[in-house]
Amino acid sequence: MTRYIRDMRGHGPDAPDPRWPGGAKIAVQIVLNYEEGGENCILHGDAASEAFLSEIVGAAQWPGQRHWNMESIYEYGARAGFWRLHRLFTGMGIPLTVYGVATALARNPEQVRAMQVAGWEIASHGLKWVEHKDMPEEEERAQIAEAIRLHTEVTGDGPRGWYTGRCSENTVALAAEAGMDYISDTYADDLPYWVKIADKDQLIIPYTLDCNDMRFATPQGFNSGDQFFAYLKDSFDALYAEGEAGQAKMLSIGLHCRLIGRPGRVMALKRFLDYAAGQEGVWFARRIDIADHWAQEHPPVERPLPSQMSREDFVAAYGGIFEHSPWIAERAWGLELGPAHDCAAGVHNALARAFRSASRDERLGVLRAHPDLAGKLAAAGRLTAESTSEQAGAGLNMLTDEERADFTRLNTAYVDKHGFPFIIAVRDHDKASIRANFERRIDNDTETEFAEACRQVERIAEFRLMDLLP
């Protein structure tokens, strides 16, 4: 069994209505990353200085040495940037989520107290602000446990949310194992979503790297406050318009004390906050507020997932989608299925691939497995449940004697000419248009009709799957 574990579908084309409180058209969620004092530093027992997200673009680590300039840039975030941002957000009454590095929180007690007095959520940003990609799984598990312990000791409460940022392939699973209410080490969506990790339904609240002041410190990023403001405003306007159209979303914004806290940038942030706060139907929320709301309004729903079914269960569920041809489901099960196939379009694509790659004789067998329209099997009540419903929906179960005789004549002529029954997805038609298509198609050459019949078989399968799956 080949399975592709990445989820390329997500909420699909019809994302759920988040039903934000008060009927809000958009949720604006702002994160303040508090990393100052938790970054790479010889004083912290690290092998080299920090080199990431500072005014020194392209900085390199200094192995075995303190980097005085880098340290002072981080210190600016704690000493000046934080308080400038604290005054701005508390003055506007806008709540934040703080991603707090545990060791940074421990080294900044006055700022922690100010966060708590303001009612900000303090989520965990890991033990230290360092790379985790090469960290052994057991070491990362131990660091997560120590981060939670230290966070609880410093703040008085354990974190309910987690974001490592510089994560490994194990981070999300390890954070779920640690019991987080939500995890944000993903950038995959504009809405929260659930994933199954081990036996746990884990809520994921995506974060952002584009609406993020980190782009002031990266190549091809923001060079001025105006660029940052314009990008935030355009992002807000796009999502706000979707909310007005009944497809509300979440705008996530990421900030850093040492970056946006500079005087030359903070005014751009203030202009955006003034703009967003001036619109109707805007919910400024902490991440934990969004997590609690989502868990209440959109709890995880358990349903069989086609990509996770055994061969037997898959064939039992979908073996009849192509009329009397379970072998198609058997072959489809062996394809590289994944979360993108856990919907009607996904299963249909897999079944259609198996059908299309079959030999001509095998496909002909599928065509011949289909009943005549309004034929003898229908009259005798011997159609499959799906065919019975489909023909009845088009009114083919209520023909006059004259209409029935007419369909019998056409069926006989069509099979005599082409060697398989006339097939049409009756849900796309009414009785009159079925009759018109019958008259038109009977004169086609057999190869043209074979191709058309195969397309119609796939369309019938699509309708049947839409009855069963999202």
Give catalytic residues, as residue numbers. Answer: 370
Contact (Cβ atoms closer than 8 angstroms) between residue 321 and residue 456: no
Nearest to 341 by CA among 15, 8, 14: 8
DSSP calls for 258-322: TTTTSHHHHHHHHHHHHHHHTSSSEEEE-HHHHHHHHHHHS-------GGGS-HHHHHHHHTTSS
- Is the Cβ–Cβ distance between 411 and 435 less than 8 Å? no
One-letter amino acid at 456 equals Q
**Rg from Cα positions in the chain:** 30
Torsions phi, psi of 334, nearest 5?
-80, -5
Q: Report DSSP state, residue 63.
A: B
Coil, strand or helix: which one is 126? Answer: coil
Cα distance between residue 233 and residue 397, in whole Å: 58
Unique residue bearing structure tokens 């979360």: 339
d(CA 102, CA 149): 9
**CA–CA separation, 314 and 332 (whole Å):** 9
Task: In whole angstroms, give the CA distance from residue 442 to residue 434.
Answer: 12
**What does the buried/exposed string (b/e) look like for 95-126 if buried means 16 or more CB atoms within 10 Å of the residue's CB?**
bbbbbbbbbbbbbbeebbeebeeeebbbbbbb
